Structure 1
Amino acid sequence: MVQLEIWEREVLSASELRSVVREVRNLYWHIRTSRPGIHDARRRRVYRKIGVQKKRLLEAGVPKREILDLLACCRSKQCLGKGCLDCTDRATELGQQI
């Protein structure tokens, strides 16, 4: 069975994928450092930006499980070591595959 595509999927190169993931990590840093109650509008704006990047990753064909692992890793202050898209171990693996 072949799935029909309504629109073409965006193909992300390794460097584009890395930049999107770094942007998501940076946006979560802004959320962690903003004070709840005082910067609520700013936090909502950042969450909307993260939603755009998540949708971009999904449309590019990144598995949902990998995106969820990335978001869990970004929410924590340190890497959880799950092998998310931004982990240094995974980055070296991707570099060797290319």
Structure 2
Amino acid sequence: MEQHICVYNINLKRTCEKLLLAARAIVAIENPADVSVISSRNTGQRAVLKFAAVTGATPIAGCFSPGIFTNQIQEAFREPRLPVVTDPRADH
């Protein structure tokens, strides 16, 4: 049996293109409060709070309540034009 060696190749050109695309989408929103930045993992919460402080976006760091974007009866209901989610696998 062969030993498996994990080698990850990151294409920096493609990564830069994707970041520029995301930046253009965020800049296209007139009101920065209409951008919601979400992270439930501890490793992403600090980045979300810093990003929101710099850009004026609405941060959701920590536990994400189900229905916050869909249930209008909920007190914390929000209707963002652009949700930015970091590591969406954490909330499944």
Q: TM-score, normalised by structure 2?
A: 0.33
Task: Considering fraction of residues, name the structure with more strand.
Answer: 2
Task: Considering fraction of residues, name the structure with more helix.
Answer: 1
Q: TM-score, normalised by structure 1?
A: 0.32
